[in-house]
Structure 1
């Protein structure tokens, strides 16, 4: 039996890796976003983590992005869609507020 030339094996190996990597790193089906009505989600964050809203903004699609945090540094990012459903998008620890010297953005 003849061995295939390297010009075929190398692209084939890359194709196998490219096709199987997403299967290995994908999240489990049970890892779904936590969603509910905004008052209930905020009550849960306040009761469990002592978090309260500190910042919010309106996205171009009409959703409201909101950041909650606690005095101990825990934080959450919530997204409320125009129909009123709020979902926990991210959460973590060690939140630190950064104060800018200038209120205006200056990239230089």
Structure 2
């Protein structure tokens, strides 16, 4: 009886933890057009770069060249976009490859 109760308690705790994680993640996710609109209206950010990530996700960097705020988003195949990182002091860089002819 004690073993069954322990298993049920552990299962319920695991489900509660998973639900909490899902709700926290969902708070940072929305349809792509909604995220783009919020970043533009709230922070003056526009898309600065885009690429394809793991599992065919689309990774985008949004930034405001005026304020320096930036946000990285990941969009899944179904169209749900999640904000995964943000910060300040965005700068546009165009660095070339390092010189590989000289020894380090």
| Structure 1: gaps of 5 or more residues | 1-28
Summarize deviations over 1:26-57 as a string: whole Å, max 9, x none: xxx58923000000001001010000001000
Q: Where in structure 1 do 4 or more consecutive aligned residues deviate above 6 Å? A: none
Name whichever structure is richer in helix by fraction.
2
Unmatched runs of 5 consecutive residues or more in structure 2 = 1-19
What is the CA–CA distance in structure 2 between the aligned matches of 1:77 and 1:106, rounded to whole Å? 26
What is the distance in 2 between the residues matched to 1:32 and 1:73? 26
Deviation at 1:107, TM superposition (A): 6.6
Report the TM-score when normalising by structure 1: 0.64
Q: Which of these two proteins has the greater Rg computed from alpha carbons?
A: 1
Separation in 1, partners of 2:49, 2:62: 7
Matching residue of 1:62: 56
| 1:32 maps onto 2:27 in alignment | no
Q: Work out the CA distance in 2 between the residues paired with 1:82 and 1:51.
A: 23
Aligned partners of 1:47 and 1:90: how far apart in 2?
18
2:86 is aligned to 91
Distance 1:89 1:60 in 2: 14
For residue 59 of structure 1, report the CA deviation from its aligned partner: 1.4
